Structure 1
Amino acid sequence: MRIAALAPSLARGERRVAEAIATDVQRAVDMTAQELAEAVGVGRASVIRTAQTLGYDGYPQLRVALAREKAFGAAAPAAAEGSLGVVRAAVDRFARALPHTAGAVTEDAVEAFVAALDQAPRVVIAASGLSAPLGYDFAMRLTSAGRPAEFLPDTLAQHIGARQLVAGDVLLTISGSGANAATLHAADAARDAGATVLALTAFARSPLVSRATTVLVVPPVTGSFQDELMQTSRAAFALVIEALVEALVVRRGPRGRGAREATLAVVSESLGE
């Protein structure tokens, strides 16, 4: 690990950061730069400088490198028996995590989230990488519920759409890590334009959270940043998205039910023999 090699040459504050990381890598992986700074007793800038001195663009890139080293350096877990065993183990793991997922979603946040979607003249969705399919799914579900939403897969187009929003409009962001650069740029553009920024993310202390008006935190299956990087599951996000659209339909009453009936009519006509 390059931390051990470079630690002696670091400035005192940076050396304290490096030593804290080396002492408990898993803890460092799951901490933001601000959390690590507070734990060590230095400024956030010292954490960032430490990461840069170690050869990374910033602390997020150092966290990823630490997670990769820890994951690939550890002994492989006992494999489930056969492909069916792997599938069952994954399903069981997700089922055990569901109470944790539901418990992290608060009533006030859900009400504010759904109200903003209901009332906004325009909704643009920003999601990229593994969250992009969720953006497409959310847009389709909202449109089917009578709440048109725009999702453009290209991140530059998302940024342009966010920049063109006005007060009262909504930018709906989806990012597991809460640190996706393209999504953060779109959130900054929407906020500068005076729009409401809604966020679905897995971590309560992430860069996206500080940019959002309302946040719904959907924790990863194990609550670990490392597992978010390695497993990148979006199953819990998909479940919450379905539930949010259902809540929107209920909130809209006859309008929501009418939109659902129109959608079902189109689906019925599209079915062949």
Structure 2
Amino acid sequence: MDQIRTDAPTASPEVGVLERIRLGASELSEAMSKVADQVLVDPEAAARATIMDLAELSGTSPGTITRFCRHLGYDGYAALRVAIATETGRASARHETGWDVNIGQEIAPSDPLDQVLKQLITIDAAMLRDTVDTLDLAAVERVAAAVSDARRVDVYGVGSSATVARELQMGFYRTGVAAWVWTEVHDALASAALLGEDDVAIAVSHSGTTAETIEMLSEAGTRGALTAAITACPEAVLAEVADVCLVSSARRTSHRADLLASRHSALLVADLVHIAVAQRRFPEALEALESRARAVVGHRPTPDLRTGAS
């Protein structure tokens, strides 16, 4: 496995990214050297390529690409692509693909709200794009197939990740899947202890290092359940204890914009899993939705025929 150097160079405007790749080539692992060679051979193609494209071109994996980016001091692949595009004279590509020049810019206390809004959208869009580039759809299919056939499903998440966990459980519930969400460690462990080989457990943690969440998923795994992690850190402990890892994107700023955007990236992954399950269970999902609609129809307000208001 590639190792990430703790003294990896930080991204610097003084030295171009291609030059830093050349200068640091001797310090790279064999796998990351393949990525470096591919970027240096055709940097314009690298600037256009998705993370999956570059992995295929270099004969490596998306995980290696991510480690290569971090070694160079970039938070993610999108930031590296912007740097390469800028250096090779393709700065306009950022606008053609919806990128903006202020990716990663900090939000200052004095910034007007219109600028803050644009910055939030920029960070959000970049994270979602990173997630699309890195997400393993075969892994999503595996989780969806297991959930579709499961006796029961546990979803775990604490802190800010609990929001995503609740949304995922609610999506399963609406399509007729027997699913529970647990955000407190004692209740979660008690539930996980009752799981078996016919069950699925999914844990949500942005960092992948939350001790309680790791303990929850580990307990479910020891009982034979298929375990899955939704996290932005595929090298974290949570990913290691999971059978399947679904990777969302991560960016870092000193404000809460990154936290909000990372939650949206995790929600994108959760929504995709939920929809993939609904597709597999379409007749059952449709029946569940219709039954729920009939059950609550008596509590819907009667429209005012004169005004159209309800």
TM-score with structure 1 setting the length:
0.66
Q: Does 1:232 align with 2:259?
A: yes
1:218 positional shift? 0.7
The equivalent position to 1:170 in structure 2, one of 180, 196, 200, is: 200
* Cα deviation digits, residues 84-110 of structure 1 (max 9, x gap): 321221012211332211121122101
Report 1:1-273 matches (<5 A).
21=6, 77=106, 79=108, 81-220=111-250, 222=251, 224=252, 231-233=258-260, 234-266=263-295, 268-272=297-301, 273=310
Count of equivalent residues: 205
State percent identity of aligned pairs: 24
Instruction: Give the secondary structure class of the aligned counterpart of 2:160.
Output: helix
1:26 positional shift? 6.5
The separation in 2 between residues aligned to 1:25 and 1:164, in whole angstroms, is 48
The separation in 2 between residues aligned to 1:230 and 1:206, in whole angstroms, is 22
Tell me: CA distance 1:185–1:78, structure 2 relative to 1, closer, same or farther (3 Å): closer
Contact 2:155/2:180 (CA < 8 Å) preserved in 1? yes
More helix by share: 1
Letter in 1 for 2:291: A
Contact 1:198/1:212 (CA < 8 Å) preserved in 2? yes
* Cα deviation digits, residues 174-230 of structure 1 (max 9, x gap): 11111110011111211111111111111111101111111111112x2x5x77998
Letter in 2 for 1:252: R
Contact 1:177/1:228 (CA < 8 Å) preserved in 2? no
The separation in 2 between residues aligned to 1:210 and 1:191, in whole angstroms, is 12
> Aligned Cα RMSD in Å?
2.8
* Cα deviation digits, residues 28-53 of structure 1 (max 9, x gap): xxxxxxxxxxx89xxxxxxxxxxxxx
1:168 positional shift? 1.8
Tell me: CA distance 1:180–1:254, structure 2 relative to 1, closer, same or farther (3 Å): same
Contact 2:228/2:243 (CA < 8 Å) preserved in 1? yes
Letter in 1 for 2:116: V
1:83 positional shift? 2.2
The separation in 2 between residues aligned to 1:182 and 1:78, in whole angstroms, is 32
Q: Which runs of 5+ in 2 are unaligned?
A: 12-26, 29-104, 302-309
Contact 1:163/1:186 (CA < 8 Å) preserved in 2? no
Instruction: Give the secondary structure class of the aligned counterpart of 2:129.
Output: helix
Letter in 2 for 1:231: D
The separation in 2 between residues aligned to 1:26 and 1:156, in whole angstroms, is 42
* Cα deviation digits, residues 205-264 of structure 1 (max 9, x gap): 1101111111111112x2x5x779983230111122222211211111211222222334
The separation in 1 between residues aligned to 2:212 and 2:255, in whole angstroms, is 18
Contact 2:141/2:276 (CA < 8 Å) preserved in 1? no
* Cα deviation digits, residues 12-67 of structure 1 (max 9, x gap): xxxxxxxx75x55969xxxxxxxxxxx89xxxxxxxxxxxxxxxxxxxxxxxxxxx
Contact 2:123/2:258 (CA < 8 Å) preserved in 1? no
The separation in 1 between residues aligned to 2:113 and 2:256, in whole angstroms, is 22
Q: Which runs of 5+ in 1 are unaligned?
A: 1-19, 28-38, 41-75
1:266 positional shift? 4.3
Tell me: CA distance 1:156–1:138, structure 2 relative to 1, closer, same or farther (3 Å): same
